[in-house]
Structure 1
Amino acid sequence: MSRVFLLSANVTTEPYPVYPLGMAVIAGALDQAGHQLRQFDFLAAGKSKAALRQALAEFAPEFVCLSLRNIDNVDSFGGEDDWYLAQARKLVQVVREATAATLIVGGPAFSIMPEAILDYLGADHGVVGEGERVLVQLLADLKAGRPAARLTSEAGAGLAGEEMAAPLLVPELVEFYRQQTGMVNLQSKRGCPFSCSYCTYPGLEGKRFRCRPAPAVVDDIKRLQAEHGIESLFFTDSIFNDPAGHYLAVAEEMIRRGVQLRWSAFFRPQGLGRSELALLKKAGLYALELGTDAASDATLAGLAKGFNFAEVEAVNRACVDEQLPCAHFVIFGGPGETEATVQEGLANLARLQHTVVFAFSGIRLLSKSPLHAQAIREGLVSADQSLLQPVYYYSPNVDRDVMNATIEESFRGRRDRIFPPSEGQKRMAVMHNFGYRGLLWDKLISFGRSRRRHGAGN
């Protein structure tokens, strides 16, 4: 077996620091295969290159596996420091100077544009998509001197739910993220059958949900609690509330086994009523992040969301009635956006009570998304234009500056309406400095008036 150094390159803390789950899952698979491992999180190490050099020297790896979570922060207001590939290349330089080990790169960001990123970083090999099985085989081939492709990927439909490795967490890293956010991450399924025009999830994880057995998910939760004292969790599924109801089975299993844990997840704002929310709340759900994405029926259709704003309002009302904080993430400027839809969208958002809205301007174009093809058809980008550096889609029918000013004016004076995204970071930082941990945005919501209006327990 081999000595394998796993390196998480993610340093973003927006909207909050996130445990490097991808690295932990790969570590679980490699550990099961008998490899000697060292997991190194550049963020948790204080972004110290000296610490990275020392760790590499002490461990003396045969292979270094670099995990890329994000290309950039997908914020059109971002600057040069928000393009994370440049930072990753500096880490590659450190690795090359410190060791002669073979360098392999993977992760969700890498898998979006693998050829271009592999060339830019100058790594030896790349793993596209999920890597539990692929990386184990690649290491075996390289160790044995067998020829190996520069890029490798999982064949077929990918791992079945029961084949997905459980994450191998590092106590020191758990403590770092506990101090930062009070929570770690877990995945109950992969894939997404929906066709949102900007999204890369179906291309990365497949166009169907591959669900881990509910007992296995809860086994992981119980193990995280027993071994690491975890008290709060975030499910990193593309969306948690799949139409087939696997998410309800997970909640029911948590209740059946007496799991005492606060958790949150990313939800689709459709088909989620009070009965479902009541069950989830009983299982420990304390807040929902909603992929609303647009604020009018026209722009929802433009993004191929598959639901309308009336459904968004219904989910929001159900959250209020169940006293569950929710946050809507909304993008302005997408396909179908006009000056009229901006005004309509802001009026729609104003009707959402007891909720936080995070608004974004423009949509980061990614090469495996339908929106990229649309942008080429509309002449906004050329077919051969590189998307390594951020390029944003804006509807030809809006003036970007006027739209941004209109959003800012609509949100002015409201602590529960956040635009531009950097404003959210400022507010979260203040709460963090006062000792708050977790999602933080949920602290911006009060249900005092909703109890009087709706009646507690109705």
Structure 2
Amino acid sequence: MRVLLIATNRHDRLMSRMDARPMPIGLAYVAGHLDPERHTVKVLDLMFSEDYVEDTNRAVSSFAPDVVGISLRNFDNQSYLDTQWALPMTRDVIDLVRKISKATVVCGGPAFSILPRESFQFLAPDLGVAGDAGETFAQLADRLEDSGGYRGPDGLRDLPGLVYREDGEVVIAGGQASSAFPKPPLLEQLDMARYERAGFGIGILTKLGDFFYPTSDEDADEASWRVIRPVEDVVREAADMKARFGLRKVFFIDNGFNIPLAHAKSLCHALIESGLDLHWNTCLTPIPSSCDADIVGLMRDAGCKLAIMTAGGHDDGNMSSGLDNLTRVCQTCEEGGLHYTLSQYFGEPGETRETVEEKLAFLKSVSPAVASLRVGIRVLPGSPVAQAALDEGLITGEGDLLRPVFYLAEEVKDWISDRLREEAAANPRWNLM
């Protein structure tokens, strides 16, 4: 069967002073799970497309797929000041596919999996897969080939994470799909050299947790992660990527590289022993107990060139104690020679003029490579901010979060943008978002 996989994300990860375009690594893992003896796979990545409509038209017309998989990476660009909603463009791609092809359309991806029912209703594919889709999508492709195409959910309902419509209702079968990521990603059809130049490096999965970053010691144990890949698998994938593509710049995909701490240290030791000499970047959780001088030194010695930290936004802790923890972690990184960036949220529940000034004073006291000042918090389902948005009537239900919704505390919303714009203009390494 002929399977066309389309990555619809066209948003930079960070804007302005640090431009980074994330590679569609999740879609590449899905492609790698498909049986090459049964299926011919083509990947269409729209990130660098100058005309995504024409590129989609050309790919569908020439390849003539039986199944089209659509990856929805983000709901939007998460910018309050320049909000760009991603779903209309993704729906345009699906509508175009339907006009020129009879292929079965299947949606998935990180954003789709956060609100699968609402995403399915808006995008109107034939099927969806919620969760880590590698194994489920591969089984789905096999069964569609065996049955001669999609004729309804019969014979498919046992596939975990499958989303379909039946009797006018959207049904999600068996909860979210899960994957151990046992097979390497299919990278050959992606512009690897361009991605190496256009961001933090080529993505390699180490761990997967929730869709926002851990912020407390309670999040630091293994039970908080849905996927923790064996260290040897991560190193093997990095070695294979370097051997095949000659690339050394890697981004370890991880909500918090340093937790659990034992896994992080094991991976650093393995990277050092491998002699791969990678230059890698990753996300760091600013919890002092899991970010001591030992792990900072190991990360540096193992080739880490940049650690990305996020402050506030989706935690429900005390803002002052959070800044104290951040200060300690930043000082540890600076003393250990590990470069880092900071993404600091403003406008979260409880924000006041005093806390805004405390955050600005904190940013001036440390030395990140880049500091991103984020106006407002993009409300995401299941987060403490979502509960605040419900309590205050900003949303009527979490289904409203399919569209961009930003929480901005009442006490600061009238002046915070101007205040941060003034500060960003005076600090060359500060980026207002």
Does TM-score exceed 0.5, indicating one fold? Answer: yes
* Partner in structure 1 of residue 297 of structure 2: 278
CA contact (8 A) 1:142 1:148 kept: no
* Partner in structure 2 of residue 77 of structure 1: 81
CA distance in 1, matches of 2:403, 2:58: 31
* Partner in structure 1 of residue 132 of structure 2: 130
Question: Which amino acid is the alignment partner of residue 241 of structure 1?
Answer: N
Distance 1:254-1:196 versus aligned 2 partners, 3 A rule = closer
Distance 1:157-1:191 versus aligned 2 partners, 3 A rule = farther
CA distance in 2, matches of 1:378, 1:258: 54
* Partner in structure 2 of residue 46 of structure 1: 50
Distance 1:195-1:89 versus aligned 2 partners, 3 A rule = closer
Identical-pair percentage: 27
* Partner in structure 2 of residue 113 of structure 1: 115
Q: Find 1:234's aligned residue among 232, 236, 251.
A: 251
Q: Is 2:233 the counterpart of 1:177?
A: no
CA contact (8 A) 2:6 2:43 kept: yes
Deviation at 1:390, TM superposition (A): 0.9
CA distance in 2, matches of 1:305, 1:187: 31
Q: Find 1:21's aligned residue among 6, 9, 25.
A: 25
Deviates more, 1:123-132 or 1:409-418: 409-418
Q: Deviations over 1:308-354 (max 9, x none)?
A: 32221121112212222211111101012112211222122221135
CA distance in 2, matches of 1:69, 1:140: 24
Distance 1:123-1:157 versus aligned 2 partners, 3 A rule = closer
Deviates more, 1:172-181 or 1:144-153: 144-153
Distance 1:181-1:373 versus aligned 2 partners, 3 A rule = closer
Q: Deviations over 1:60-93 (max 9, x none)?
A: 21100000111101111124xx111111111112
CA contact (8 A) 1:362 1:393 kept: yes
5 Å-filtered alignment, 1:251-330, equals 251-270=268-287, 271-293=290-312, 302=316, 308-330=322-344
CA contact (8 A) 1:10 1:68 kept: yes
Deviation at 1:252, TM superposition (A): 0.9
Distance 1:123-1:354 versus aligned 2 partners, 3 A rule = closer
* 1:290 alignment partner, SS class: strand
* Number of residues of Structure 1 aligned to a counterpart in Structure 2: 404
* Partner in structure 2 of residue 415 of structure 1: 428
* Partner in structure 1 of residue 239 of structure 2: 222
* 1:337 alignment partner, SS class: coil
CA contact (8 A) 1:134 1:154 kept: no
What's the TM-score, normalizing by structure 2? 0.85
CA contact (8 A) 1:262 1:285 kept: yes
* Partner in structure 1 of residue 391 of structure 2: 377
CA distance in 2, matches of 1:305, 1:196: 15
Deviation at 1:59, TM superposition (A): 1.7
CA contact (8 A) 1:182 1:231 kept: no
CA contact (8 A) 2:212 2:255 kept: no
CA contact (8 A) 1:196 1:304 kept: no
* 1:401 alignment partner, SS class: coil
* 2:426 alignment partner, SS class: coil
Q: Deviations over 1:172-193 (max 9, x none)?
A: 5213323434721111112259
CA distance in 1, matches of 2:197, 2:240: 20
* Partner in structure 1 of residue 186 of structure 2: 168
Distance 1:413-1:374 versus aligned 2 partners, 3 A rule = closer
CA contact (8 A) 1:6 1:37 kept: yes
What's the TM-score, normalizing by structure 1? 0.81
What is the RMSD of the two structures over their aligned residues, measured on CA atoms?
2.8
5 Å-filtered alignment, 1:24-103, equals 24-31=28-35, 34-79=38-83, 82-103=84-105
Stretches of structure 2 that go unaligned for 5 or more consecutive residues are 15-19, 148-153, 158-163, 165-170
* 1:412 alignment partner, SS class: helix
CA distance in 1, matches of 2:223, 2:98: 34
Q: Deviations over 1:357-384 (max 9, x none)?
A: 2111111122343422221122332237
* Partner in structure 2 of residue 402 of structure 1: 415
CA contact (8 A) 2:250 2:280 kept: yes
Q: Is 2:153 the counterpart of 1:148?
A: no
Deviation at 1:9, TM superposition (A): 0.4
CA distance in 1, matches of 2:423, 2:395: 31
CA distance in 2, matches of 1:239, 1:324: 16
CA contact (8 A) 1:129 1:153 kept: no
Q: Is 2:179 the counterpart of 1:159?
A: yes
